[in-house]
């Protein structure tokens, strides 16, 4: 699980990095502008944003990311305790909110809840009778395991994570390949074709002229 952490408090940032890196891959920055750049260049599973940072605020950052159809789940951490900031955080597209000071175990439980809700655990029941092992790249359907390629695994995980909406071919290309290695749209069609063999074509719908949606 890859986490982007935006936190300008150096002491808290060090504590969070040491703690989170025991279980997750963590990329940290103190800057809102740098966080935006990192989110454009990499694919993350979770954002953890402080509300106030020197060059902006996490709420504005998340609003901008959501305007680009970035649905990566986000947790805000903040020293504010008023309902106004809580309201603004959720209106910007936040999925959870934690107030300073907080216990690290509380953060763990909130992350685990996000993982369950968005199918980010290593074993995910993506549909009745179909279990997806994201770590070992195995789809088990009707008790029959089938290995899939790393890229197929990444594509299936992305489609499932964004299952409430249609995902365009361009979006899949941008999130699964580096810019200088990006193939043609045919590569996505090949991935989808192979994935349908593993999970069933009824679970990956082709929305003509728009893209694909996991059902």
Q: Please report the pLDDT score of residue 194 as a whole number.
A: 95
Tokens of 65: 């990311």
Predicted confidence at residue 68, as pLDDT, reads 87
Rounded distance between C-alpha atoms, residue 18 and residue 41, angstroms: 24
pLDDT score, position 20: 94
Kindly report each contact of residues 121-128 with a partner whose C-beta sits within 8 Å and lies 24 or more positions away, as own/partner: 124/160, 126/156, 126/160, 126/199, 126/203, 126/214, 127/199, 127/203
- For residues 54 and 57, give the distance between their C-alpha atoms in angstroms, rounded to a whole number: 8
- The pLDDT tens digits for 125-174 are 888 889 888 878 999 998 899 999 999 999 998 998 888 899 999 999 98
In the chain, where the domains are located: 2-118, 123-214
Residue ranges in the chain modelled with pLDDT below 50: none
d(CA 132, CA 119): 9
Q: So what's the pLDDT on residue 81?
A: 75
CA 129 to chain centre: 24
Closest CA to 15 of 114, 113, 81, 100: 100
> Helix (H, G, I), strand (E, B), or coil: what is residue 147?
strand
At the topology level, CATH places domain 2-118 in Rossmann fold (3.40.50)
pLDDT at 179: 78
Is the CA virtual torsion 39, 41, 44, 48 positive or negative? Answer: negative
| Confidence (pLDDT) at 61 | 95
Predicted local distance difference test score (pLDDT) of residue 140: 93
Q: Which residue is it, tokens 């953890």?
A: 48
CATH number of 123-214: 1.10.10.10
- Tell me what pLDDT residue 42 has: 85
* Packed helices 185-199 and 150-161: angle between N→C axes, nearest 10 degrees: 80
């Amino acid at each position: 699980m890859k986490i982007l952490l935006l936190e300008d408090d150096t002491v808290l940032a060090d504590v969070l990095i040491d703690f989170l890196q025991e279980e997750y891959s963590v990329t940290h920055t103190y800057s809102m502008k740098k966080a935006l750049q990192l989110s454009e260049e990499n694919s993350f599973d979770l954002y953890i944003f402080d509300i106030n940072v020197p060059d902006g605020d996490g709420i504005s950052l998340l609003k901008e990311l959501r305007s680009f159809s970035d649905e990566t789940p986000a947790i805000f951490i903040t020293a504010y305790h008023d309902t106004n900031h809580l309201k603004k955080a959720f209106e910007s597209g936040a999925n959870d909110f934690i107030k300073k000071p907080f216990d690290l175990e509380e953060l763990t439980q909130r992350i685990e809840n996000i993982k369950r809700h968005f199918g980010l655990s290593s074993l995910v029941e993506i549909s009745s009778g179909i279990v997806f092992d994201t770590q070992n790249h195995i789809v088990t359907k009707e008790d029959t395991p089938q290995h899939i390629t790393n890229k197929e695994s990444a594509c299936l995980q992305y489609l499932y994570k964004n299952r409430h909406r249609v995902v365009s071919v361009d979006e899949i290309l941008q999130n699964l390949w580096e810019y200088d290695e990006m193939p043609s749209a045919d590569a996505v069609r090949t991935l989808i074709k192979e994935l349908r063999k593993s999970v069933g074509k009824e679970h990956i719908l082709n929305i003509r002229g728009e893209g694909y949606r996991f059902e």
